[in-house]
Every structure is written in structure tokens, then in C-alpha cells.
Amino acid sequence: MMRTRPLKVALLGCGVVGSEVARIMTTHADDLTARIGAPVELAGIAVRRPGRVRAGVPEELITTDATALVKRGDIDVVVEVIGGIEPARTLITTAFEHGASVVSANKALLAGDGAALHAAAEAQGADLYYEAAVAGAIPLVRPLRESLAGDKVNRVLGIVNGTTNFILDKMDTSGAGYSEALDEATALGYAEADPTADVEGFDAAAKAAILAGIAFHTRVRLDDVYREGMTEVTAADFASAKRMGCTIKLLAICERAADGRSVTARVHPAMIPLSHPLASVREAYNAVFVEAEAAGRLMFYGPGAGGSPTASAVLGDLVAVCRNKVAETTGPGESAYTRLPVSPMGDVVTRYHISLDVADKPGVLAQVATVFAAHGVSIDTVRQTGKDGEASLVVVTHRAPDAALSATVEALRKLDTVRGVASIMRVEGE
């Protein structure tokens, strides 16, 4: 039986994503009603700048008083797409206190304060859904939280930032330098005026924290994620990668330790073989591999950002939360029962690709090999070229603890025959 009283929705933020959410709610109202089992009504839209023109957005719904909107008492669901920590955190907790469930796309807030927000939602018998916080329209949160709830996930590996993938793809395919590729990404609207959050890995690290927490049923905060940006990646690195049959991607990697007693989460550039499916992910697209014991390897692919894709994820969550309201129930909340510690990056077992500028004279290779051996790091391959007293030495290692590899690099810097370390990059995806 169809419920006649409409479910009222408050929208916080009406930028690229928020305006698309408002448009879809308005134009697809009949479809949403049929899918939810009750009418859904956009009751108010909180914005910072009320004078802006917002095509297709009802002006009578616009307000600058977000706090009053979420405190109304008749709001069933609050959709938060303003981003940032404050006032988003206070508005979300206030919404819970006044009986509303919340749909959010706020990765930074969820990565830092997810546990507290989940606790606040549970205390009020409300839902907290956030599919749009991780990879735009790509369904990742719900498959991890629900579809794979009976399985054991061991690894999540993927490209979760479209801006960095666009830049690295252009560097790979056109031979452009980092600055040139960034300029193109900015001109096309893929990069913000200040691209720091993307290119320094902060955006991907927040997503990694969220994914690791859901996948491994433990609490992983943004501060737990090792983060390394991609601003130092050069055309020379891509040339080296191609000689190895690889390309370079900025990866988010979340892993359960082999003994099952800890987890790791990290974001950094890495060389991956051209045969790996992630190597063919082009432009601003995202793709994520999930490796589970029973399900095996699953790949999720699609646009990871943008107004329409992100709005699609928001609306999917909105329908789910509204259905729960109609059924007078709530969906799955936080699952952190394993309480697994997050190991530091130094404990992670990785491979390195190291490019050294060395003196072109006998015995240099032996000296370098001795340093690797002294730190317990095995060498996989070595390539040496040189002339006129200068040489380049490229070493690819076998897998070893990252701390041992870092110590090896520091020891190499101290050799008189090593003029400098041209580049260091991890090798993944085997």
C-alpha cells in the first residue's frame, strides 16, 4: 500500500552535485515515488550564496540558514553535499538529533570522524549512507557492506581519483610533463584551481580509509593511511616503466596482513604491468579491484566524479534510506568488530624500482649490490648504461619490508660512487 504522506528531504549544498540532485528529484519525482513506496518532497535547500543562478532549482526552497532547516523536525532525510569538516559535521549531528537520517558525499569528514557519526546515527535510530563519498557513480560501499557481508575481503586495490588518473594518462600517452598535463586537466575542468587535495593524494587517502574500514570491519582513520602524492612523477619515470612493460598509476591499496592480525592502507604512485586491467583505465575514470576469499577478484569501473555520476550515487542512497523510513527500519551501520590495528608503512611488503646516477667505473655495481644485501633486500633485475664517466643504474627489487627498502635507499645515498637517486617508485599489481 502506497504511503500518502510525503517524505521530506533537506538538501545542504547546491553546487555541481547538489543542483543535479535537486534536478533529478524534481524531474523524476513519479519514478522515485514508485520505487520508494511513498512520495518524496524536496523541502528546502541550504546554500551559502543565495544570489547565484541555479537552473531548474526552485528559488522558493533556497535558504541560507542550514541549521534552521535541519532543526525543523519534519525533515525525514538530510542530503549533505557541502563538503569540508565544519559546518557539515555539526549539521549532520543536528539532523540526527532531530530525527532525520543522512545521506552524505563528504569523504574527508567520514574518513576522519566516521566512527562518531555512525555512533550518533545509531543513538537516534537513524541511517548514515555515503556511497557518493568514495567513487562517484561506481557502487563500492554497498557491495562491500552488503553484497560481500558473508565473505572475507583481503585486498582492495584501485584508482579512486579521476584527476590524477587523467594527468598520469596524458603523461603516459602523449609524453607530456606533469605541469603540462595538469594544465590540460584544469582547462577541461578535471582539476580544481587548487589541485592539492587530488595530486598530493589527500582525496584518495580519505577514500582508502573509508574502504578499508568497511572491507575489514575495523576502524581506519585518514591519519592511518600512508600518503604520497604524484607531483614528482616525471617523463623519465614513464620511460623506465615502459622498458619494464609497465605504466604508472596513483593507487589506493588496502590489505589484510597474511596472518590476519592487522591491516594496512596506503596511497602512492606505483608501476603496474600493462597486462593488469588497471593499466588500461584511461582519462578521468576510476576502477577498483576487490579480492575476497569466496568471490575471488571483482572489478568495479566507471566515472568516479562529476555532477551527474555523484548525484546518481546520492539518489541511490536516498532511495534506500527513504525505503527504510517507510518500513520503519534502518540499514546496516558501522561494522568494526574485528578491531584490527593498522600497521605502519614500514611493515608493508613491497617492491621498489630505483634509478641511481652513479660514477661509470669498475666496482660500482658490486658496491650497490652489497648495500642491498646488507639490508636483506634481494635484487630482481639491474640495468646499467653510461658514458664519459657518468652512468645510470636501474634496480628492481624483490618484495621486502618497506622499512628495509627505505633504509637501503638512505645507505645508497651515502656511497661516494652514487651521485644521486633520480627516482624511487613502488611496483604493484603482480
Q: Which residues are catalytic, by number? A: 207
Distance separating alpha carbons of residues 275 and 393, to the nearest angstrom: 25
Question: For 338-361, b where at least 16 C-beta lie within 10 A, e where not — what string?
Answer: eebebbebeebebbbbbbbebbbe
CA 197 centroid distance within chain: 11
Cis peptide before 6 (omega within 30 of 0): no
Distance separating alpha carbons of residues 133 and 17, to the nearest angstrom: 12
DSSP string for residues in 163-207: HHHHHHHHHHHH---HHHHHHHHHHTTSS-SS-HHHHTSHHHHHH
Q: Are 317 and 130 in contact (CB under 8 A)?
A: yes
Question: For 16-38, b where at least 16 C-beta lie within 10 A, e where not — what string?
Answer: ebbbbbbbbbeeeeeebbeebeb
Helix, coil or strand: residue 90: helix
Please name the residues in contact with 288: beta carbons below 8 A apart, sequence gap of 6 or more. Answer: 135, 138, 140, 156, 157, 158, 159, 160, 211, 252, 299, 300, 301
Q: Are 204 and 267 in contact (CB under 8 A)?
A: yes
